[in-house]
Amino acid sequence: MGDSAPIPDDLRQWLTGHLPGTFIAATDTSWDRETSRVWRVQTTSTVAYAKMSPSLDAFEREISGFRHAQEALVPGQSPRLLAAEPGLRAIVVTELPGEIVRHLDLSRATETRVHRLAGSILRAWHEHPEPESARARATLKAAMTGQAAEAAACLEHLSDELDAATRALIGEVEQLPALAESMPLMYLHGDFGSRNWLWHADAGDLGVIDFQEAGPGLAVQDMVWLFGALWTSRPDLEEAFLDGYGRALSRDEYRMLVLLTARLAVSYWSTGRRNHDVVLVERGRLALADLVRRVR
């Protein structure tokens, strides 16, 4: 998190009409990026979270995501939306018990339980149907085409640093648009990583937050970060997650997951090289090396 930002006066005034009790304090809990604006709000009667979305599209996705969570998940697995104000692009939601998983030092047994629960939550999220908009399939095709083009540009940028097997894998990312055409659309969380999981240790339960990226897509898109960043060195967590998810991935889904992750990894590497960021370069290099090992 970056420097603490005070809650805007207009947001605070709006909140007084939607939260019981007298305002006490608002603590900045935003992520360390300019587009993140979140506060923990305490009154004499309750604690809630207020968020201002960076755009109207993000605000509308968040509202839709909260509606979907309310219908798809059991009580306690997600916050409840209390109020929303389009003019401020603001929402206020209930506090969900627990701590952000990415910040926790958990035992291996607890990590396994967390991933199994996360898989179960994501399956419930994906299985709950949403009407498919007329443009959803075209939007997906455009996104896959864009990712394939990005991978091709990164391949050209890094070609002198890549071995033959890695170049071949990145070259296969061009298959994304065609592969996506035959796969069913799901409603995605959109940012289903451990920074958006809350572990409630006393109850042994997991919750999920942040629906700003929710929308239609392919089920495995919600697993790309996990596959490339967490499961590379912990196949036991992948197994636990898919056990919770309740089914194995199909051959096409696994192929899609590999190619999407390859695109992300080569993007890390290329961006890191361009910006002289050795951490990003290493992250991309290690992820690609693991992917090559997996598909041999």
pLDDT in tens, 200-242: 999 999 999 999 999 999 999 999 999 998 998 899 999 999 9
The residues near 217 (Cβ < 8 Å, ≥ 6 apart) are 140, 143, 185, 186, 188, 190
Distance CA 43, CA 37 (A): 19
Instruction: Quote the domain boundaries for residue 203.
Output: 99-295
Q: Over the Cα atoms of the chain, what is R_g?
A: 20
Residues 61, 85, single domain; the answer is yes
3-class DSSP state of 199: strand
Distance CA 209, CA 206 (A): 10
Residue that the structure tokens 């509606």 belong to:
67
Residues 90, 236, single domain; the answer is no
**What average pLDDT does the segment 3-24 reach?**
92
Residues 60, 143, single domain; the answer is no
Residues 291, 225, single domain; the answer is yes
Domains of the chain: total: 2
Residues 276, 235, single domain; the answer is yes
- The model's pLDDT over 133-179, given as tens digits with 9 standing for 90+, comes to 879 999 999 999 999 999 999 999 998 999 999 999 999 999 999 99
Is 135 among the domain residues?
yes
Residues 36, 154, single domain; the answer is no
- Name the pairing type of β-strands 99-100 and 47-52: unpaired
Distance CA 201, CA 120 (A): 17
Residues 79, 174, single domain; the answer is no
Arithmetic mean of pLDDT over the chain: 95
Residues 58, 138, single domain; the answer is no
Question: 57-75 b/e with 16+ CB inside 10 Å = b?
Answer: ebbbbbbebbebbeebbee
Is 3 among the domain residues?
no
Residues 170, 283, single domain; the answer is yes
CB atoms within 10 A of CB 178: 11
Q: How confident is the model at residue 2 (pLDDT cuts 50, 70, 90)?
A: very low
Look at residues 67, 94, 121 and tell me which one is the last residue of a structural domain.
94
Tell me what pLDDT residue 4 has: 72
- The model's pLDDT over 178-190, given as tens digits with 9 standing for 90+, comes to 999 999 999 999 9
Task: Give me the count of residues in the chain.
Answer: 296
